[in-house]
Amino acid sequence: METTELSVDGMTCGSCVASVTKALKRVPGVQDVDVDLRSGIVRISGEHTAHQVPALVAALGEAGYEAGAETGTTPAHQHPAGGCGAGAGSPGKGRGGCCCG
């Protein structure tokens, strides 16, 4: 099993983590996803994940996030200054329950 790390910009809440995890687990060969919300680093474990980077980045793009190698990424998924606001009981407007639309 291999592990690949990507930097994902704009994750600010639990709904973002859930959306990223769900999107990445749809990619064939991905077995586990570990999201560090604070650092924005996502560790993807599975079979041949290092060769799947384009598919992983594309899956994140479809979920509304931009990712890249640990440095040099640009923000694509922005939240309001006050945070996400998609609290418990609020399904949010964006994909995966996030507040973005």
Distance CA 15, CA 70 (A): 22
The residues spanned by each domain of the chain are: 2-97
According to the model, what pLDDT value does residue 47 have?
Answer: 87
Of 22-26, 48-52, 58-62, 81-85, which gets the smallest average pLDDT? 81-85
Confidence class for position 70, pLDDT limits 50, 70, 90: low
Cβ-contact 6, 44 below 8 angstroms = yes
The token pair at 36 is 């560090």
Of 41-45, 65-69, 70-74, which gets the smallest average pLDDT? 70-74
Mean pLDDT across the chain, nearest whole number? 76
Give 24's contacts (C-beta < 8 A, 6+ positions apart).
30, 33, 42, 44, 56, 59, 60
pTM of the model: 0.68
**What CATH number should be reported for the domain whose range is 2-97?**
3.30.70.100
